[in-house]
Amino acid sequence: MSTSASSSSMLGAQTSGALTNSTAAAASPALTSPASQAVHVASVKTHVPVVLDLQQSNYAKWRMLITVLLGKYELMDHISSVTPPDARTTEWQRQDYVVRSWLYGSISDDILDTIMAQDQTAYDAYALIRNLFLDNQLTRAVYLEAQFRALVQGDLTITAYCHRLKALSDALADVGQPVTNQTLVLTCLRGLNPRFSDITTLVTMQVPAPTFLQTRSILLLRENQLANATPGGSLLSQVALYGNTAGSSTGGNPGGRGNSGGHGGRWSAQHRAGLIGPALYAWHCLRVADAHPRRTRLTCADSTRVSQPVPFSFTTTAATPSTSSSLS
């Protein structure tokens, strides 16, 4: 009797456990779906770290970030299509409130005051935001084009200057006037501070022409060189900064080579990467010599391989014509 009762109890426990597991398995997909987890996002600024503003020309960046967030939680349909009223379930409404809160939390107060309305859907709010930036495209393109062409570096850093140029080019693309990479590079060079005039010559001599990001990298290297230049510094310090040495000098010899054979600096690295050809690298060496107050004569031996740095030597003419020293 007791054995039978025990067996019945065990069978009942197993059946109850199986039903519980089955119910949990059936409910699990709905509870763990990306859309159902969206409500747990603590702050939209974690995913969209920019605030959309009419004065910032950052609509392209904001749109990309907000669509990435919506795609992550499978909620793109809330801004891409209109949902019929009879299809708006309780779960759909909860998700739509989440999307609306993300939109409201990632825009400026001026835009929020303009687009917010009672009982609007996320689709309605997103459409109003989009229209603020894309309506009257031709008129906006005229003003953006004027700003883009008139922008000059002035006292801006290279980072700030290039960032502003890229923001304006993105804004032009938003109104149907995309800017090509070549136009972006040429506009960047045209508006540079005069102290970067040598970089303009360097970039325009390269074939194929560098991209905007490559041009920005070259300008940052030049900006760093100018910031670290010593007034009246020696030729060796200029050569070391431009690409003669990368490692520590050998034996304390001022003309000694670094650990990488004397050609491991920034310009040599650009040359080995194929960004600067042999002729352009030789031209650069001549520029270093011409800039030196001692009028050092510089000889650059051209290299036939782009992957190898150009070997070069300096011959310094001293006050006495019969005395000369060579650095190789």
Rg of the chain over Cα atoms, rounded to whole angstroms, equals: 32
* CA end-to-end distance (rounded Å), the chain: 104
pLDDT tens track, the chain, 328 positions? 444 545 555 545 454 554 444 444 444 445 567 777 777 787 888 889 999 988 877 888 899 999 999 999 899 999 999 989 888 999 999 999 999 999 999 999 999 999 998 889 999 999 999 988 887 788 888 988 999 999 999 999 999 999 999 989 988 888 888 999 999 999 999 999 999 988 888 888 888 889 999 999 999 999 998 888 766 544 444 444 344 333 333 333 444 444 434 444 666 666 666 666 655 665 666 566 556 545 444 434 433 333 344 444 333 333 444 444 444 3
Cis peptide bond upstream of 178, omega within 30: no
Q: Answer yes or no: are the C-beta atoms of 128 and 107 closer than 8 Å.
A: no
**Greatest alpha-carbon span in the chain:** 123
- State the pairing for strand pair 324-327/297-300: unpaired
Q: Answer yes or no: are the C-beta atoms of 284 and 202 closer than 8 Å.
A: yes
CA 283/CA 178 separation, integer angstroms: 35
